[in-house]
Amino acid sequence: MIDRLVLGVVQLGMPYGINNKIGKPDFNSACDIVKTAFDNGITRFDTAQAYGDSEEILGNVFDKLKINKKVKVYSKLDPKLNLCDEFAVQQSVEDSLCKLKINQLEGLLLHHEDSLNYWDKGLGSMLQGLVTKGKVKLVGASFYSPQKAFDALDIDGIDIIQVPANILDRRFENVGVFKKAKECNKDVFVRSVFLQGLLLMPLACVPVSMKYVLPYLEQLEKMAFDLSLNRQELVLRYAGQRWPGSFVLFGAETMAQVIDNLRIFSKKIILSINENIFKNIPENILNPMFWPKL
């Protein structure tokens, strides 16, 4: 089970998450977070060129812990990068490898799904060139649109898709993304299992501008209570159970959060819930791009 967990480290490079009260951890805390994850069997780490100095911090942590050759890192190209400029793309990957202090990225992803518009304009061959050179092992893209993720699975050279999915959000499952990925033997990385922390936010702390979320959080709270769980346990176990062939990303601002998520995910408990409770959830809840500015 634990080998399916991926530690997302955006929090190491910038304050992230609607429920983040701690902010960006200092370097010693970053070391504690990564070491705790690695010592407990997590070898996959997800970052991006646009996540502040996340790559550099992660590389320094790897170097301090002497685990550079034992980890698998997935990063994303800077969305501001000129994807038609082969030199710029190659140099950005070299920069990432240098910051991360590793020789090869396990996965290189396009940060935005619209970047696939450049695939047949030279981008696809550029990225395959990086694979041929041994700089990158697998190529993929991150998605917000279920249909675009579904269609991308038909592209030769796309090995990985990263999609948001959680107990409220089954849009990608509903259009057949997970089923098709399995048929195509391509990896799915599930992000936003906590919906950037919104699903775990104390009810009293929900901003006034997002009070429309409260009925769904209250339903989650009741469901968790009926199962003798808390919301974190319910949401994380659900993701592990619902999409068993996928990798599951989680983030952490503290070592204690890593330990807690490991404890939850490693338990083999089958959840029996009424999924019809959460149907047709509005996109202004599921997609953080539509959340009001706080």
Query: In CATH, what number is assigned to the domain containing residue 205?
Result: 3.20.20.100
CA gap 113, 138 in Å, rounded:
17
CB 260: neighbour CB atoms within 10 A? 16
* Parent domain of 267: 2-290
pLDDT of residue 167: 95
Is the separation of the CB atoms in 142 and 112 below 8 Å?
A: yes
Virtual torsion, Cα 150, 151, 156, 157, nearest 10 deg? -60
Is the separation of the CB atoms in 10 and 251 below 8 Å?
A: yes
pLDDT of residue 56: 98
pLDDT of residue 16: 54
Is the separation of the CB atoms in 110 and 143 below 8 Å?
A: no
Taking only the tens of pLDDT, the chain with its 294 residues reads: 789 999 999 999 876 555 545 668 999 999 999 999 999 999 999 999 999 999 999 999 999 999 999 999 999 999 999 999 999 999 999 999 999 999 999 999 999 999 999 999 999 999 999 999 999 999 999 999 999 999 999 999 999 999 999 999 999 999 999 999 999 999 999 999 999 999 999 999 999 999 999 999 999 999 999 999 999 999 999 999 999 999 999 999 999 999 999 999 988 777 887 777 888 899 999 999 899 986
CB 55: neighbour CB atoms within 10 A? 25
Number of domains in the chain: 1
Judged by phi (left if over 0) then psi (alpha if -120 to 50, else beta), residue 224 lies in alpha
pLDDT of residue 294: 65
CB 6: neighbour CB atoms within 10 A? 23
CA gap 153, 8 in Å, rounded:
23
Alpha helices in the chain (DSSP H): 10-13, 27-39, 54-65, 86-100, 123-132, 146-152, 171-174, 177-184, 214-226, 231-242, 255-266, 283-286
